[in-house]
Amino acid sequence: MATLAVAMKTATHPATGQAIFELAEDEMEIGMGQHGEAGTGPCKLLSADRTAALMLGRLLEAVKAGQGDRLLLILNGSGATTLMELYIVLRACHRFLEAKGITLAAAHCGELLTVQEMAGFQMCVAKMDDELLRYWHAPCQTPALTVK
């Protein structure tokens, strides 16, 4: 599994309430750590389609995924990103993968681990086979995920 994050609004420090890093209103940063660690540097805001393509390009290379492979995709909201926004990114990911001949075998969107007041999301991908998909779809009940 490989993971990459993007921030569109800075997180705040829980003790001071101050911004952990600076981002202009028209900027985002890809590669942010879960707690505001620096990424690849700020860039201008991109569309959901362009952001998904950029992130997936890096993640597919990291897991060595290509045509004919099946993927699990998890989109984790950082706290200030709406579920609707995550679904828009999911749609962009599905279109991108379909064009590459890669099957989106399973997906999950939601807030599993958040960062105080940060807007953005983490994208996680993993190559899947029949055994791993059986485990992914197996019944479970946890505070973060329930599968019946």
Q: How many domains does the chain have?
A: 1
In terms of DSSP bridges, do strands 146-147 and 119-128 run parallel, antiparallel, or are they unpaired? unpaired
Question: Do residues 49 and 58 touch, judged by C-beta distance below 8 A?
Answer: no
Residues taking part in catalysis? 35
Convert the pLDDT of each residue in 94-118 to its tens digit: 999 999 999 999 999 998 888 777 8
Which tokens hold the place of 3? 């993971």
Q: Give ∠ CA 120-124-127 in degrees, rounded to 5.
A: 160
Residue 133 belongs to domain with CATH number: 3.30.1180.20
Convert the pLDDT of each residue in 48-99 to its tens digit: 999 999 999 999 999 999 999 999 999 999 888 999 999 999 999 999 999 9
pTM tops 0.75, yes or no:
yes
Range of the domain at 116: 2-147
Question: Cα(67)–Cα(65) distance, rounded to whole angstroms?
Answer: 7
